[in-house]
Amino acid sequence: MEVKTNVIKRNGKEVSFDISKIENAISKANDNVDRLHQLNAYQIKAVAESIAKQVQKSIHAVNVEDIQDMVETGIMEMRGYEVAQKYVRYRYKRELTRKSNTTDNGILSLIEHINEEVKQENSNKNPVINSTQRDYMAGEVSKDLSRRVLLPEEIVQAHEDAIIHFHDTDYYAQKEHNCDLINLEDMLQNGTVISETMIERPHSFFTACNVTTQIVAQVASNQYGGQSFTLSHLAPFVDVSRQKIKKAVIEERKECGESLDENIIDKVVERRLKEEIKSGIQTIQYQLITLMTCNGQAPFVTVFMYLDEVPAGQTREDLAIIIEEVLRQRMQGVKNEKGVWITPAFPKLIYVLDEDNIHEDSKYWYLTELAAQCTAKRMVPDYISAKKMRELKKGNVYTCMGCRSFLTVEENQKNPDGSYKFYGRFNQGVVTINLVDVACSSEGNMDRFWEILEERLELCHRALRCRHERLLGTVSDVAPILWQNGALARLKKGETIDKLLYGGYSTISLGYAGLYEMCVRMTGKSHTSQEGKPFALSVMKKLNDKCAQWKAAENISYSVYGTPMESTTYKFAKALQKRFGIIPGVTDKNYITNSYHVHVAEEIDAFEKLKFESEFQELSPGGAISYVEVPNMQNNIPAVLSVMKFIYDNIMYAELNTKSDFCECCGFDGEIKIVEDEYGKLVWECPNCGNQDQDKMSVARRTCGYIGTQFWNQGRTQEIKDRVLHL
């Protein structure tokens, strides 16, 4: 019989199901037992066809291990006990052989471009190019070392069973950390060292922009997560250029015998200055997009735009000019290899809404209007409400360290002027608990749920301790740009980073996923319902209480983090289906819901969604972001502005998921749709010409805070397809 569902081999390659392989495997085991205990040809065929039917019913590609389990069960059901025994022994011997070297197949499949799991692991890494493959190959070795040598067996097993997710095991062996806030001010004002070369304080805005891109590239090559910097640290260099240009203009005019009228000089200076600002921002945008770090991707960098981060007066006016230029250039986009203007994935932009830009009569309202137009066309910027953030962060307003990971406000982390210190701090890493598995394991029993949750949280705690202890003893020499030259600290050569791992200088994150599905399993209702919400909030409180308990005992800044999942959402979903079967509303999709988010298919309007999620965002102090799904908004900017105003009054951090795709076959500019092909696989299709070739289309979707442009696995693709509009 023909089966359309695919099989995932151990090396990650996805292949078509072949019933003859099942029959051959059973026949080999059958030939090795006495004729008296053998199965006949009809029985072997019946077992194979039974398995084929089970595979056909699966809503996702089936792992080869799952099929082997089915074979064992099928033979036993035919009372072929001796045959089953031979099959199990053969399988066990093969498993021992494979375990003797766990990396070869994974690496070879990478080189041959057939590892589907890795190909779609990261929606911003192209797995075909050499630098990315090199990083993935190193990652395979690191994962193998981590599994066999570095991590406790219970952590490895829990990760493989998808009970927890130990993030970024491919970087664990190298003692690298997650994400950070670059102290660009220190590096620019006091100088830095890049590749053993002294970089002094820049003498112009353009040079400051150039140095910034070099810093970002160096930082990205020495850690594995996101990084953020603020335009406020570049703003003082506008006046440095202004004075430099003014001096040059006066000298030129003197040499030419022209008028030294102050008004004329100022006009010439401002015109040249604006050109320099334009060139500087263009340098940042194009260099960050075209830079390829050692891990085969553009830096996961976020640019923060907050007017009130600098004093009122000339510096704030200069910052406004910089922000305007950033928004205008981003709105234009970048040209792809075909010369078509498209939406770039990076840098991510964050625009802070505050009293001086949120009302029509506010001084900088024109920037907010420009931000709205940019969001409608290019999906960024995202928005932070200064009003709500001050309420939640002890009066402070600051950027996240990547797509959403926020530092906690620490009383013992302050600058010499008494302000709280944020720039220069970082995150040690993330471990995520699968809340859906906790609920399913408890079988809906509340007492059992809380018992299992306690056990799983302590498992996460032990895993987080592994992350922390892996970093202990790291000497500053391993990444001078980070630890010695100002990005994160100014430690001495040979000094360890240990003191930066305690006292709140850095955070470490307890992630969580599937709050919605957990509620459905335990209460029968969504967490947006009156029945589900109190339970969901009580679970969130439990997570925070545990982090506070661990922090008090160890002086390590544990924090609750709303995990952004890419390939992990598919991994969790498949594991849940394998362990618990299909439970309507819980395990019946190829994905589970990110963090506290309202389920993507749940009908809810934008304002109600943001208001509801604000309560849960408050309980994710280590990082979280909310979004609303909207159609093409380029012709409805007032609606975008309405959402932005609502964000300002109701939620700390949010974004609008707009649509910005392009088909190279017909020139269609709009939303490329997801459809099922003849085999039931989800594919992208141009609604205008029917093109399904991913190499001939540009698709950008926000899947976890950052915009992805390299397409996604089937689980995430289904999640994108299921999204309903909120506006």
Which residues are marked as active site? Answer: 178-179, 401, 403, 405, 427, 561, 566, 705
Question: What DSSP line would sit under 459-472, residue for residue?
Answer: HHHHHHHHHHHHHT
Q: What is the largest CA-CA distance in the chain?
A: 113
Give the SS3 label for residue 345: coil
| Closest to 512 measured CA to CA, from 614, 410, 579, 434 | 434
Is omega for the bond preceding 381 within 30 degrees of 0, making it cis? yes
Cβ-count burial of 141 within 10 angstroms (0-12 exposed, 13-18 middle, 19+ buried)? middle
Count of residues in the chain: 727
Contact 121, 711 (CB under 8 A): no
Rounded CA separation 600/344 (Å) = 24
Rounded CA separation 648/356 (Å) = 12
Rounded CA separation 281/323 (Å) = 9
First to last CA, the chain: 46
| Closest to 539 measured CA to CA, from 517, 559, 561, 519 | 519
Is omega for the bond preceding 687 within 30 degrees of 0, making it cis? no
Instruction: Mark 456-479 as b/e (b = at least 16 C-beta within 10 Å).
Output: bbebbbebbbbbbebbeebbbeeb
Write the CA distances from 103 to 131, 162, 470, 641, integer angstroms: 19, 21, 22, 51
53 beta partners: none
- Phi first, then psi, for residue 35 (nearest 5°) are -55, -35
Residue reference for tokens 């409805």: 636
Amino acid at the residue 647: I
CA 557 from chain center: how many Å? 21
Give the SS3 label for residue 645: helix
Contact 386, 354 (CB under 8 A): yes
Torsion of CA 358, 638, 674, 58, to 10 degrees: 60
Q: Which residues contact 578 (CB under 8 A, 6 or more apart)?
A: 66
The bridge status of strand 669-670 relative to strand 661-663 is antiparallel
Dihedral sign for Cα 373, 374, 378, 384, please. Answer: negative
Q: Which residues contact 444 (CB under 8 A, 6 or more apart)?
A: 521, 522
Rounded CA separation 474/489 (Å) = 14
Rounded CA separation 440/587 (Å) = 9
Question: What DSSP line would sit under 250-276, residue for residue?
Answer: HHHHHHHT----HHHHHHHHHHHHHHH
Rounded CA separation 348/345 (Å) = 7
CA 295 from chain center: how many Å? 15
